[in-house]
Structure 1
């Protein structure tokens, strides 16, 4: 009986939260016409604690853990030759994001959204299989692994496209960089600590090489997450709201002048993911 009451309560809470989110988005038109981006960020913040488990009432599926496709890492230049396969990789921590800026540019030619966020850490867990040589040391192992990516900065752009009675996001292109990466593999060399420490040292010192193989999978998941979340908001947002925005740009307080959180001065170095235009302020910009 108690379990049933709890389930009913949680369902009612989810419905109420979804309705509140819908009302907040619609109210952005009436209450925050000059700072739509701030209003949207607040609406996202309100539902953020529920994103990990999903909000079916809004069409948002469970977002954690995310599953990556199998990852193959190869290093084939002597004296180091390694092949590692990572399988059943699950990622947690994505929904702990902190949006640092949101740019919406809407005009006759340019219709674009730019976003920058910080994720404190991402944790990857799964199974691995590794073989090869480091200098003259043959290495082998198979078992569970954990990798922690600290200080993740994600940044990129998407096109805003009118669709039916609302808008949709297309060509979402979010890249990311990290401050540090640390991996731990169980059962390397059947638990030989000296040999396993040697391999862990090499992998952690060359984490960027491993990250380059994992990056596409994480980026795809990140792009899908951003597109899904904002498409839901754009469906709720009255279609004419972007077309009736006043001229000028609104800035988000402090987010671009704080060296500790200034993602715009440190865009992801990914040639396939250009950062938003230099000098653009965080907020709403309507052109032409």
Structure 2
């Protein structure tokens, strides 16, 4: 029944592209074509309320669909229905959030739009249909309200000739839909009690039911959208939709705009003088590169902004200079003042090699460096200004053919500066290092975070066998005595406990990022775990989406591609006749699972048929279950990890980590 939503969305999206003679028109090669179309939509929008019959655009208030037939079988869904006299109200309040068009030798587009509220009414006749295990067959009338609707449609089209004129015809449309909330009411003439129960189930768990229906809505909606698009654009010649471009005055000295220069296919790989052509274009592109080309996602090169660089040198002869350095918030000037020393093009291999000269590069940013120079410790942080001279860069690029052009697939650059180097360390001051195993970490927050990440990643593989010097026991497998999860709100009401749980996979964990806020004594770590396998005993009882579940036995579970964020607040713990120990005052866990599978043995007292059906349901709907159980699962993990964190931090001295 929710297919009606997408019908309205399609009509909106298609109508937004109607541009007859008396409407604002856009130029085919306008560098801001997307913005032009959006402005045109705003002007056309008032006329969409009552429709535009001369170009087959239906009225949007209400949007009428005489008949719609649905027939689909999918996991958790079997539906065969006929909907008649469908009316949708609210579609005219659409807003286009994003529009992206590509008319470069093709007609490809993407549109994202939102509708705040949509009310739909219809007559329905549903036979032999179910959602999950609920029978939804019946006949009658329904009313529905949906809010927070977001639709994203991507499609491609081609020009077709008709009576000597070109018209657009769609090849393919793919659609994705999300609905924030929904409520329905039914007046069933055949099975009123069952229909009311089905409506109550939907109203209690609209997100769950909509997730099951989305593939049907999106697939059917794309087909409807394609039909409306072709019906509308079969009436309007392409030349009236996209007109030829009128010359503008904001051009370069060569008569081209910045966007046109970036788009021009000025060099062809079959040209015997293609190397000279590339040099010429590169020379012309210096101004472009200096200012950047936002519409092509090319950032300015003057200056080039680099968020961070990590440097490490531990293999100098005789250990004369060992250091770890972090450069952050860097700016680099001088990259566009290049000249070519050599350029070779290999068309058959789609390969380019070359060498360029850069007379002067100026770098400015923040730095942290720790290490040893001639066996003397070096620790410093502050601002860095450096001037490199007589630089050269060796270039090696491999391309790929895309639509008769070559684009860069992979590139390698090696930079060497042989002239005098002038460097100035501004606002430099010494830092106190923190010892984390064999890592010496600075106290500056950004650098400390990078260093802690590297230190943790060096010790994670040792978790399998334990780290005795820090009192960390082996954790492969990790043994968890007990976990309790209780959920009593929403579509899931279940009480469960898990005992004697073994977990394999923690030693494969990767620490992606560590952020330190020394003033708040807070550490935030982003983790990735490729796989976790769990086995143990379970006991659970309750309801999952109105389906009863009960069991007591052995469980197996596998979780893949886990992203987790652990937030720790550090504090102090008094030691008798000694300095304070570091303590974990609080710990919070947030996680996201990429995929999951599970098996619960001895469900429903050992009933094999019911147990197999429930296990299948759990594995087909693991993502919805995970979303509903996210909060209690995170709380259970916090209860497990907090004692481990207390033990790990308790062996460290607080004064080595905390400022106060």
Deviation at 1:233, TM superposition (A): 7.9
Aligned pair 1:47/2:44, yes or no? yes
Aligned pair 1:114/2:110, yes or no? yes
Q: Alignment partner of 2:188: what SS?
A: coil
CA distance in 2 between partners of 1:165 and 1:68 (Å):
33
Q: 188, 209, 212: which is aligned to 2:212?
A: 209
Q: Is the 8 A contact 2:27 2:244 kept in 1?
A: no
CA distance in 2 between partners of 1:233 and 1:149 (Å):
36
Deviation at 1:96, TM superposition (A): 3.2
The answer for the alignment partner of 1:65 in structure 2 is 64
Check 1:172–1:239 CA distance in 2 against 1; reply closer, same or farther (3 A cut).
farther
Q: Is the 8 A contact 1:25 1:43 kept in 2?
A: yes
Q: 113, 122, 126: which is aligned to 1:126?
A: 122
Q: Alignment partner of 1:60: what SS?
A: coil
TM-score, structure 2 length as denominator? 0.29
CA distance in 1 between partners of 2:122 and 2:160 (Å):
40
CA distance in 2 between partners of 1:137 and 1:173 (Å):
32
Deviation at 1:58, TM superposition (A): 4.1
Deviation at 1:224, TM superposition (A): 3.3
Aligned pair 1:224/2:227, yes or no? yes
Deviation at 1:123, TM superposition (A): 3.6
CA distance in 2 between partners of 1:241 and 1:162 (Å):
21
Q: Which runs of 5+ in 2 are unaligned?
A: 1-18, 247-255, 263-292, 296-403, 406-660
Q: Is the 8 A contact 2:175 2:221 kept in 1?
A: no
CA distance in 2 between partners of 1:136 and 1:229 (Å):
41
TM-score, structure 1 length as denominator? 0.58
Q: Is the 8 A contact 1:82 1:131 kept in 2?
A: no
The answer for the alignment partner of 2:100 in structure 1 is 103
Aligned pair 1:144/2:141, yes or no? yes
Check 1:197–1:123 CA distance in 2 against 1; reply closer, same or farther (3 A cut).
same
The answer for the alignment partner of 1:170 in structure 2 is 170
Aligned pair 1:236/2:276, yes or no? no
CA distance in 2 between partners of 1:59 and 1:136 (Å):
42
The answer for the alignment partner of 1:184 in structure 2 is 185
State the structure with more CA Rg.
Answer: 2
The answer for the alignment partner of 1:270 in structure 2 is none
Deviation at 1:46, TM superposition (A): 1.4
CA distance in 2 between partners of 1:190 and 1:149 (Å):
24
Q: Is the 8 A contact 1:149 1:182 kept in 2?
A: yes
CA distance in 2 between partners of 1:217 and 1:99 (Å):
21
Task: Report the more deviating stretch, 42-51 or 181-190.
Answer: 181-190
Aligned residues: 226
CA distance in 2 between partners of 1:51 and 1:135 (Å):
39
Q: Alignment partner of 2:154: what SS?
A: strand
Task: Report the more deviating stretch, 139-148 or 46-55.
Answer: 139-148
The answer for the alignment partner of 2:156 in structure 1 is 158
Kindly indicate which of the two structures has a greater share of residues assigned to strand.
2
The answer for the alignment partner of 2:86 in structure 1 is 90
CA distance in 1 between partners of 2:31 and 2:199 (Å):
52
Deviation at 1:144, TM superposition (A): 0.3
CA distance in 1 between partners of 2:153 and 2:50 (Å):
24
Deviation at 1:170, TM superposition (A): 1.9
Check 1:238–1:214 CA distance in 2 against 1; reply closer, same or farther (3 A cut).
closer
Q: Which runs of 5+ in 1 are unaligned?
A: 1-19, 252-286
Deviation at 1:228, TM superposition (A): 5.0
Check 1:88–1:146 CA distance in 2 against 1; reply closer, same or farther (3 A cut).
same
